[in-house]
Amino acid sequence: MGSWGFVGLAYGVASVALIGYLLFLKGRLRGAREEFAALEREGGRRTR
């Protein structure tokens, strides 16, 4: 592997890690928001 190969590998690995973490975080945020909204809806129905 040439010099640019190592540079590409390093930046590639870091990009995958950072984009992967961002998507993982966004997915968990979406899931938590949906769960909370469902709980609130259910709670509202019970109160009525």
Partner 1 sequence: MARLSFAARLHGGAAALLLAVGLYWGLLAVPADAFQGEVQRIMYLHVPSVSTAYLAILVTFCASILYLWKRDLRIDAVAHSSAEIGVVFLGITLATGAIWGKPTWGVWWTWDARLTVTAIVFTMYVGYLMVRAFAEEPQAGARYGAVLAVLGLPAIILNHFAVQWWRTLHQPSSLIRPGGPSVAPVILWPLVFNIVAMLVLYSYFLLERVRLERIRHRAAESRLKRGRRG
State the greatest distance between any 2 C-alpha atoms of the chain, in Å, as a whole number: 69
> Does residue 23 touch partner 1 according to CB under 8 A?
no
Q: Is 33 in the site for partner 1 (CB under 8 A)?
A: yes
Residue 9 as a binder of partner 1 (CB under 8 A): the answer is: yes
Smallest gap from Cβ 18 to partner 1, in A, equals 7
Cα 13–Cα 30–Cα 11 angle in degrees, nearest 5: 10
Query: Judged by CB under 8 A, which of 23, 40, 45, 48 binds partner 1?
Result: 40
Q: Is 42 in the site for partner 1 (CB under 8 A)?
A: yes
